[in-house]
Structure 1
Amino acid sequence: MQLSIVIPLLNEAESLDELFTRIRKVCEKENYTYEVVFVDDGSTDSSWEVISKLNQEYPQVKGIRFARNYGKSQALNAAFKCVQGEVVVTMDADLQDFPEEIPGLRKMILEDHFDLVSGWKKKRYDNVLTKNLPSKLFNWAAQSTSGVKLHDFNCGLKAYKKSVVKAIDVYGDMHRYIPVLAKNEGFSKIGEREVPHQARLYGKSKFGANRFVRGFLDLITIWFMSRFGSRPMHFFGFIGTLMFIIGFISSAWMGVNKLVKVWNNIPARLITSDPLFYIALTMMVLGVLLFIAGFLGELIVQLKRGKKEDYTISNYLNL
């Protein structure tokens, strides 16, 4: 199969027919063999009924339905495990992404040999204060921290080699950082393509301002995981050892200083009355605890295989 199109959604019943019609026209015009995988992330409207109807009419339509709302990352992860196309394209279901961009994205994967191509909505039609400015700040921070030079990490319109989506594990709210996850797995040829954007036609956005707070916290997590996720002892062990040595040297210095004063009959106060003693003791204790945390982290890394998925699927169509 040449192409898989993955569409996570939540309460987007009004837009699904139009979206699939546009996708079908593009794929038929380009003569692609394709599948469209809709992932219903716990919708409470008639989204699943629309998907089921499309599935009955068109065998290319496949569906995954979650038992409740788990999030976009889990929706993408579930679909990535099932897709069969040599190129995988993701897009949002709200018609703000243009299916007509699919051939250009696919060409960059196959002919320009990119591992991943991300859309860049250079001109946006969102609220400037609540979305555009925070998004620019977020993208700047993501570029600076991850080293992946993309203008728009949040764009849902992306294309991947099949090997990329099979290698990455998208969890939590990490869908924003799929390019970083791909880079961490060794897929370093990451590009972007300027794509058009339009205002939402139906429904309302499912993401509030708090997504940027969560996004920055996730950015810290992925920065740490990319550097120390497979070797936590290198972080916790190093800091723990350093703190223990500083505390031990400080305690030893206080002890030697007290003995010298006693030997020379110089009045000296009790070591336990010196605040520095408790600071040094605390550093030694924290150093040991951090070292143990690094050791336990190493054990967890070795045992993390076979992790249970953090979502429940209630129904499948054609998968």
Structure 2
Amino acid sequence: MNISIVIPLLNEDESLKELHEWILKIMNENNFSYEVIFIDDGSTDQSWHVIEQLTQQNPNVKAIRFLKNFGKSQALHAGFAKAQGDVVITMDADLQDNPEEIPELYNMIMQENFDLVSGWKKKRYDAVVSKNLPSKLFNWAARKTSGVQLNDFNCGLKAYKNLVIKNIEVSGEMHRYIPVLAKNAGFSKIGEKVVKHQARKYGETKFGMERFINGFLDLITIWFLSRFGKRPMHLFGAWGVVMFMIGFSTAGYIGISKLYRLYNDLPYDLVTNSPYFYISLTTMIIGTQLFLAGFLGELILRSKNASENYKIASELNLK
């Protein structure tokens, strides 16, 4: 099969038939073998009813329905698990992603050997203040933090090799950072293509300003996991040792200072009267806790199945 098109959706009953007809037209014009996988993320309108009709009309249409709204990342994860095409295309169901981009995205994966190609909505039809400007700031921060040089991380229109989507796990709100997840998994050839952005035709956006706040928090999470997820001791252990040594040195200085004053019959105070004694004690305790956190993290990693620590690209003559 050439292409799997994975489409997560929430309350998009007005656009589904038109989107299906548009995709079908492109698939037939290019003689692609394909499947379209709709993932209904707990819609409360007639979306599932429309999808049932489409599956009866077109055997290449498949569908998954969640019991409730779990989020776009979980919808994509479910779709990726079922996708069988050599190239997997993701797109939104609101008609803002243009299916006419699919053939070129497919060729970039198959002919130019990209692992992943992300769409770039260079010209947008969103409100400048509420979405466009925050999106630019968000993408700038994502580029600087992740090292993946994309202009539009949040574009729903992306193309992947099947191998890529089978070797990454999209959870939480990490759908924005699939290119970063792919890079961390060892897929380095990540490209970008300017795509047409359509104005929303039906309904209204499901995302508000809170998505940017959540996006930045997720960015911190994925940065931390990519740098220290496999070696937590490198962060917690190092800071723990530094803090413990600072506290220990300070406490040692206080003790030696008192002994010196005692030996030379100089006036002195009780060690416990010095605020630095409590500061040094607190610092040593925090340092010990950080070190133990890193140590426990290492134990947890080593208790996992070893096969979860790496991904195999291919095998030859193995049974």
Partner of 1:31: 31
Partner of 1:250: 250
Q: Secondary structure at the match of 2:84?
A: coil
Q: Secondary structure at the match of 2:182?
A: helix
Please give the per-residue CA displacement for 1:274-312, whole angstroms capped at 9, x wherever unaligned: 111111100100011111111222233345569xxxxxx
Give every structure 1 segment of 4 or more consecutive aligned residues whose post-TM-superposition deviation is greater than 4 Å.
Answer: 303-306
Partner of 2:240: 240
What code does the residue aligned with 1:36 have?
A: V
What code does the residue aligned with 1:18 have?
A: E
What code does the residue aligned with 1:131 have?
A: K
Aligned length: 306
Q: What is the RMSD of the two structures over their aligned residues, measured on CA atoms?
A: 1.1
For structure 1, the 5+ residue unaligned runs are 307-319
Give the Cα separation in 2 of the matches to 1:36 and 1:241: 54
Give the Cα separation in 1 of the matches to 2:111 and 2:180: 23
Partner of 1:179: 179
What code does the residue aligned with 1:253 have?
A: Y
Shift of 1:198: 1.7
Q: Secondary structure at the match of 2:119?
A: strand
Shift of 1:26: 0.6
Give the Cα separation in 2 of the matches to 1:278 and 1:212: 41
Partner of 1:301: 301
What code does the residue aligned with 2:253 have?
A: W
What code does the residue aligned with 1:298 have?
A: E
What code does the residue aligned with 2:215 have?
A: G
Is 1:53 paired with 2:68? no
1:101-250 correspondence runs (5 A): 101-250=101-250
Give the Cα separation in 1 of the matches to 2:179 and 2:303: 26
Give the Cα separation in 1 of the matches to 2:67 and 2:294: 37
Q: Secondary structure at the match of 1:45?
A: coil
Please give the per-residue CA displacement for 1:102-153, whole angstroms capped at 9, x wherever unaligned: 0010111111111000000000000000000000000000000000000000
Partner of 2:284: 284
Q: Secondary structure at the match of 2:166?
A: helix
Give the Cα separation in 2 of the matches to 1:303 and 1:22: 49
Once the two structures are overlaid, the 10-residue window that deviates more, 96-105 or 290-299, is: 290-299
What code does the residue aligned with 2:243 have?
A: M
For structure 2, the 5+ residue unaligned runs are 307-319
Q: Secondary structure at the match of 2:169?
A: coil
What code does the residue aligned with 2:195 have?
A: V
Partner of 1:264: 264
Give the Cα separation in 2 of the matches to 1:227 and 1:244: 23
Give the Cα separation in 2 of the matches to 1:299 and 1:258: 41
Give the Cα separation in 1 of the matches to 2:300 and 2:136: 36
Give the Cα separation in 1 of the matches to 2:23 and 2:302: 43
What code does the residue aligned with 1:103 have?
A: P
Give the Cα separation in 2 of the matches to 1:226 and 1:252: 38
Once the two structures are overlaid, the 10-residue window that deviates more, 289-298 or 37-46, is: 289-298
Give the Cα separation in 1 of the matches to 2:117 and 2:16: 24
Give the Cα separation in 2 of the matches to 1:15 and 1:195: 20
Once the two structures are overlaid, the 10-residue window that deviates more, 265-274 or 124-133, is: 265-274
Please give the per-residue CA displacement for 1:17-59, whole angstroms capped at 9, x wherever unaligned: 0101111111111111100000000000011111111111111
Give the Cα separation in 1 of the matches to 2:106 and 2:50: 27
Q: Secondary structure at the match of 1:192?
A: strand
Give the Cα separation in 1 of the matches to 2:301 and 2:98: 40
Shift of 1:230: 1.3
TM-score, with normalisation over the residues of structure 1?
Answer: 0.94
Give the Cα separation in 2 of the matches to 1:82 and 1:248: 56
Once the two structures are overlaid, the 10-residue window that deviates more, 31-40 or 288-297, is: 288-297
Give the Cα separation in 2 of the matches to 1:94 and 1:170: 21
Once the two structures are overlaid, the 10-residue window that deviates more, 177-186 or 289-298, is: 289-298
Give the Cα separation in 1 of the matches to 2:258 and 2:182: 57
